């Protein structure tokens, strides 16, 4: 059974490991440790998907930027709904923090493009780095 919880500082090694094992949108270097630590506490939040005792995916949201800057799964966990659940954690948290529009980006030509479009995210162009930018308008909180 998969469970979800907020990511902690103790998870950083596993988050870095998972990020290095993805099939698409690979980085030439790891996410800087300082960025991960700030993202877990001062700038935003992170969430992990856990199978038994193993972290199998994670998402990260940045509040000052109203963005989701990480959503990664171990390859064997793709296509099982975990990405959507982790994305929902980040979107929900940003909505609770009264963000009205949030954004994310992904490398062009990846399966992630179709994933975000399927979930209702709107393509708004390219970032300065050449990634496809998506935005999601959140309903006002009542």
Q: How much is the pTM?
A: 0.89
CATH of domain 2-137: 3.40.630.30
* Predicted local distance difference test score (pLDDT) of residue 22: 62
* Predicted local distance difference test score (pLDDT) of residue 125: 96
Q: Does residue 19 or residue 128 have the better pLDDT?
A: 128
* Predicted local distance difference test score (pLDDT) of residue 28: 43
* Predicted local distance difference test score (pLDDT) of residue 142: 62
Report domain extents, the chain.
Answer: 2-137
pLDDT (tens digit per residue) in 27-77: 544 566 777 777 788 889 999 999 999 999 999 999 999 999 889 998 899
Give, in order, the Cα–Cα distances in Å from 4 to each of 42, 46, 55, 80, 107.
21, 11, 9, 14, 26
Gyration radius of the chain's alpha carbons: 14
* Predicted local distance difference test score (pLDDT) of residue 6: 95
Asked whether residue 20 carries a pLDDT value surpassing 90, the answer given is no
Alpha helices in the chain (DSSP H): 12-21, 33-41, 82-96, 111-118
* Predicted local distance difference test score (pLDDT) of residue 24: 60
* Predicted local distance difference test score (pLDDT) of residue 29: 47
- For residue 25, give every residue at least 6 positions away whose Cβ sits within 8 Å of its Cβ, in sequence order, or none: 106, 107, 110, 112
Strand bridging mode 67-73 / 132-137: unpaired
pLDDT (tens digit per residue) in 87-127: 999 999 999 999 999 999 998 988 899 999 999 999 999 99
Report the SS3 class of residue 129. Answer: coil
Q: Which residue has the tokens 């992170």?
A: 46
């Amino acid at each position: 059974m998969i469970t979800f919880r907020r990511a902690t500082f103790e998870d950083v090694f596993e988050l870095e490991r998972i990020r290095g094992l993805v099939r698409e949108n690979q980085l030439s270097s790891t996410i800087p440790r300082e960025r991960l630590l700030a993202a877990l506490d001062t700038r935003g939040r992170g969430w992990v998907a856990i199978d038994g005792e193993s972290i199998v995916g994670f998402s990260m949201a940045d509040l000052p930027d109203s963005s989701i800057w990480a959503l990664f799964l171990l390859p064997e966990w793709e296509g099982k709904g975990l990405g959507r659940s982790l994305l929902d954690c980040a979107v929900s948290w940003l909505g609770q923090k009264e963000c009205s529009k949030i954004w994310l980006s992904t490398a062009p030509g990846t399966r992630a493009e179709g994933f975000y479009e399927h979930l209702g995210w709107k393509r708004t162009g390219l970032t300065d780095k050449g990634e496809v930018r998506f935005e999601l308008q959140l309903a006002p909180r009542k």
